[in-house]
Amino acid sequence: FLQTVPGLLPEVGGALPVILLPFVVVTAMMEREVTGAIFGLAAGLLMDLFTANIGAFHAVSLMIIGCICGLFVSYLLTVSLRSALVLYGGSALLYFTAMWLIYYVLPGYERAGSHYISHYIPLMLYSAVFLIPLYFVIRLIERKMTGKS
């Protein structure tokens, strides 16, 4: 699980990037909703397996994100870097805000709002750094597999 290897990636704002979120978004864009949901579920299960969180929050969330991103590309958007950035932005905002609400606001932690600003916003931005290289790598793989140039 690459994103949790100690010392591999530097921490920003006390956070390591969530590389699997942009991976799910881009894969769903290239392969559409069913494959996006399957990749989201698999990525989420990996995250749930390797984190101390209770339940299947990551599996369910990333499965829904994969399906919705695939549907957006099937019916509304084109496969482009601009679409990937828009879909990632919306997905990251919903995903990290839901995580913050479940793990900080509902339990009643003090200063939950400042934690959102100091931890989750840098986490969204840091994870976004991986979107562009993932987009081009996954697009290249998809084109090689389908025979497109």
More confident residue, 133 or 1: 133
Distance CA 101, CA 113 (A): 10
Task: Kindly tell me if the per-residue pLDDT of 18 is higher than 80.
Answer: yes
pLDDT at 106: 92
> pLDDT tens digits, residue range 113-144?
999 998 899 899 999 999 999 999 999 999 99
Q: Tell me the Ramachandran region of residue 18: left when phi exceeds 0, alpha when psi lies from -120 to 50, beta otherwise.
A: beta
> pLDDT tens digits, residue range 40-91?
999 999 888 887 777 899 999 999 999 999 999 999 999 999 999 999 999 9
Distance CA 20, CA 37 (A): 13
Coil vs helix vs strand at 12: strand
Query: Which secondary structure element, helix H or strand E, spans residue 110, and what is its range?
Result: none
pLDDT at 50: 81
Distance CA 20, CA 42 (A): 10
Q: Are 61 and 44 contacting, i.e. CB atoms less than 8 angstroms apart? A: yes
Task: Kindly tell me if the per-residue pLDDT of 3 is higher than 70.
Answer: no
What is the CA angle 6-24-126, rounded to 5? 45
Task: Kindly tell me if the per-residue pLDDT of 28 is higher than 80.
Answer: yes
